[in-house]
Structure 1
Amino acid sequence: MRTIVVDHPLVAHKLTVLRDEATPSPTFRLLVDELVTLLAYEATRDVRVVDREIRTPVAETRGAHLASPPPIVVPILRAGLGMLDGMSRLLPKAEVGFLGMVRNEITLEATTYANRLPDDLTGRQCFLIDPMLATGGTLIMAIEYLLAKGADDVTAVCLLAAPEGLAAVEEAVGHRAEVTVVVAAVDDHLDEHGYIVPGLGDAGDRLYGVV
């Protein structure tokens, strides 16, 4: 498993504002969108392309074109929806699937309550988007779900990760497929409630409120 921490001053600046508890939801949503676009640039570095012959106004030349089948972007509901526009901005031709998953706040285990994905993901590059990689349980279950449908190349884009979560993902699925995790930062640790420290709080609540 590869872990890519995007080291860029704009990423650091936007992440700092996201962490601030005084940042209101409209600003938080805007910054998540901008930050994800920066992360997506690194996450798509190995997206599959094929050669394509074109003619410019001056001459014929060879370029690159996204390969078929197109990639699929899978936000993990609900917080992952806040990252979808930023990801789609760089991959407008990608298809979009959805996974509805929720973490039990007592056991910290994830359960799936909804999905909208193709039956066969063989040959598809999959991009999972979820703001927080905390214990790793949700991401592990999501990756296993994609692998069961034939995927063998999965990239997870997260705003923050905890070392414990990264270790859990690597141990559970890192050896079973080509798995990459792209994050803005790896924080210190998890607290007793499974929250990332220093983190930024509950990303879903800060995006959409507590309803």
Structure 2
Amino acid sequence: MSIALQTLLPEPVPVHHLGLYREPTTLQPVEYYNNLPYHRPASASAHPDVAILLDPIIATGGTSVAAIQTLLEWGVKKVVVIAVLASESGLDRAAKEGGVEGQVEIWVGGCDKEVTDKGMLRPGMGDVGDRLFLTIGK
């Protein structure tokens, strides 16, 4: 049995892309793409109440924090972050980003205790970008 998503929702749901990666040397987030419409909208009705942020791995928490900040500054009232794995420290950093209680909600599949000096989870699952784009060892 399949139900079309459109029949469940009163209107189409906008999908936007906010692309960030972590610079490997400094471990700082770099925004490479942002197609949020009306980057600084004039009216409150121009942006959604809830944004769902997909971040495969929250290691240091830097890219999650940068994405959360961008969405909140844009005017989203609540950010839901969904991740496969996180470190305890990265998860804590991302969770504290929301200025008002309940503004940021994080769902994570598992949590590792450590992050290496290169910002990788230990034991972790390797670099997600390398796995997605087949750049392991380059």
After TM superposition, the score normalised by the length of structure 2 is 0.79
**Contact 1:190-1:196 within 8 A present in 2 as well:** yes
Give the Å deviation of 1:67.
5.5
Paired position in structure 2 for 1:151? 76
d(CA) in 1 for partners of 2:51, 2:10? 13
Paired position in structure 1 for 2:53? 128
In the alignment, structure 1 residue 165 sits paired with structure 2 residue 90: yes
More helix by proportion, 1 or 2?
1
In the alignment, structure 1 residue 116 sits paired with structure 2 residue 35: yes
Distance 1:155 1:67, change over 3 A: farther
Question: Mapping of 1:178-193 within 5 angstroms?
Answer: 178-193=103-118
- Deviations 1:72-114 (Å, cap 9, x if unpaired)? xxxxxxxxxxxxxxxxxxxxx5321111212111211102121
Aligned length: 123
Using CA pairs under 8 Å that are at least 6 residues apart, name the structure with larger relative contact order, 1 or 2: 1
Paired position in structure 2 for 1:54? none
d(CA) in 2 for partners of 1:182, 1:199? 17
- Identity of paired residues, percent? 34
Give the alignment's Cα RMSD to 1 decimal. Answer: 2.0
The match for 1:137 among 16, 38, 62 is 62
Question: Mapping of 1:1-211 within 5 angstroms?
Answer: 65-66=8-9, 93-119=12-38, 120=41, 122-171=47-96, 173-176=97-100, 178-210=103-135
d(CA) in 2 for partners of 1:102, 1:123? 24
Amino acid at match of 1:202: D
Amino acid at match of 2:61: G
Give the Å deviation of 1:186.
0.9
- Which consecutive residues of structure 1, in runs of 5 or more, have no partner in the other structure? 1-64, 69-92
- Deviations 1:21-79 (Å, cap 9, x if unpaired)? xxxxxxxxxxxxxxxxxxxxxxxxxxxxxxxxxxxxxxxxxxxx5355xxxxxxxxxxx
After TM superposition, the score normalised by the length of structure 1 is 0.53
Paired position in structure 2 for 1:26? none
**Contact 1:157-1:183 within 8 A present in 2 as well:** yes
**Contact 1:122-1:152 within 8 A present in 2 as well:** no
d(CA) in 2 for partners of 1:146, 1:174? 11
Q: Larger Cα Rg: Structure 1 or Structure 2?
A: 1
